[in-house]
């Protein structure tokens, strides 16, 4: 009798362990699925990021916005009449340190703005385009070195950094701190007021990741 009781106890223990492991697997899968959420938005031509987060830009024939980390309960995605995709990291009562990571696939991008922190970075090759405008205000980073562009307009106001590789001309402006770094031999028209820097990147750092570049 004691033997049967112990056997039943062992079997029950294994069943509980199996259920626990299965529940853990289900939770992990659910979390991964929740984290990889396609966000439905209208067509856009420009991107604006507020208050932090990391946006990766990739080239593709169809626009898609995918939430890799974070939650649509906290982050907000809207498209304005002017074709701006506006991403707000905080739209309500959210944990102050929650992570927001987004992947955007688009055939073309006209303007990029980062305000109050965050990073927008292009990855992979893009077809050559005529121009692009980039703005950083009150901190943040824009890195569009992989977007081949003839004319680049770059502006940093009150801190932050922009990394670009113009082909023909760069219109660069820094006000009250910040840094613009460019590569190549494009013509430069620049203005620095009340601190900041506009510098030409060295050849050995052309393809370096942001983590290996000097912080702005």
Residue 156 or residue 6, greater confidence: 156
Q: How confident is the model at residue 148 (pLDDT cuts 50, 70, 90)?
A: very high
Give dist(CA 148, CA 12) in Å, integer. Answer: 63
- For the segment 129-146, the average pLDDT, to the nearest whole number, is 98
Q: What is the pLDDT of residue 164?
A: 98
C-beta of residue 117 within 8 angstroms of C-beta of residue 97: no
Question: How many Cα neighbours within 13 Å face the side chain of 21?
Answer: 6
C-beta of residue 150 within 8 angstroms of C-beta of residue 169: yes
The pTM of the full predicted model, rounded to 2 decimals, is 0.83
C-beta of residue 175 within 8 angstroms of C-beta of residue 162: no
Q: What is the pLDDT of residue 20?
A: 54
Residue 1 or residue 182, greater confidence: 182
Residue 66 pLDDT more than 70?
yes
Six-digit token string for 121: 């970075």
- For the segment 99-105, the average pLDDT, to the nearest whole number, is 96
Q: How confident is the model at residue 33 (pLDDT cuts 50, 70, 90)?
A: very low
Residue 161 pLDDT more than 90?
yes
Cβ-based neighbour number of residue 122 at 10 Å: 22
Q: What is the pLDDT of residue 1?
A: 52
Q: What is the pLDDT of residue 140?
A: 97
Give dist(CA 176, CA 17) in Å, integer. Answer: 60
- For the segment 61-79, the average pLDDT, to the nearest whole number, is 93
Average pLDDT, the chain: 87
- For the segment 191-212, the average pLDDT, to the nearest whole number, is 93
């Amino acid at each position: 009798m004691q033997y049967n009781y112990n056997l039943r106890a062992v079997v029950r223990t294994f069943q509980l362990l199996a259920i626990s492991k299965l529940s853990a697997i289900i939770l992990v899968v659910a979390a991964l699925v929740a984290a990889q959420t396609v966000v439905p938005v209208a067509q856009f031509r420009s991107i604006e990021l507020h208050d932090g987060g990391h946006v990766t830009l990739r080239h593709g024939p169809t626009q898609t916005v995918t939430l890799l980390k974070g939650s649509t309960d906290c982050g907000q995605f809207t498209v304005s009449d002017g074709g701006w995709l506006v991403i707000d990291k905080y739209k309500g009562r959210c944990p102050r340190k929650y992570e927001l990571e987004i992947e955007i696939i688009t055939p073309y991008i006209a303007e990029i703005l980062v305000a109050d922190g965050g990073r927008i970075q292009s990855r992979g090759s893009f077809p050559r385009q005529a121009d692009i405008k980039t703005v950083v205000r009150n901190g943040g980073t824009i890195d569009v070195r992989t977007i081949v562009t003839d004319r680049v307009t770059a502006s940093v106001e009150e801190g932050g950094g922009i990394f670009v590789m113009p082909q023909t001309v760069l219109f660069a402006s820094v006000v009250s701190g910040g840094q613009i770094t460019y590569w190549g031999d494009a013509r430069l028209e620049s203005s620095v007021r009340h601190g900041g820097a506009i510098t030409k990147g060295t050849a050995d750092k052309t393809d370096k990741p942001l983590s290996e570049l000097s912080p702005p």
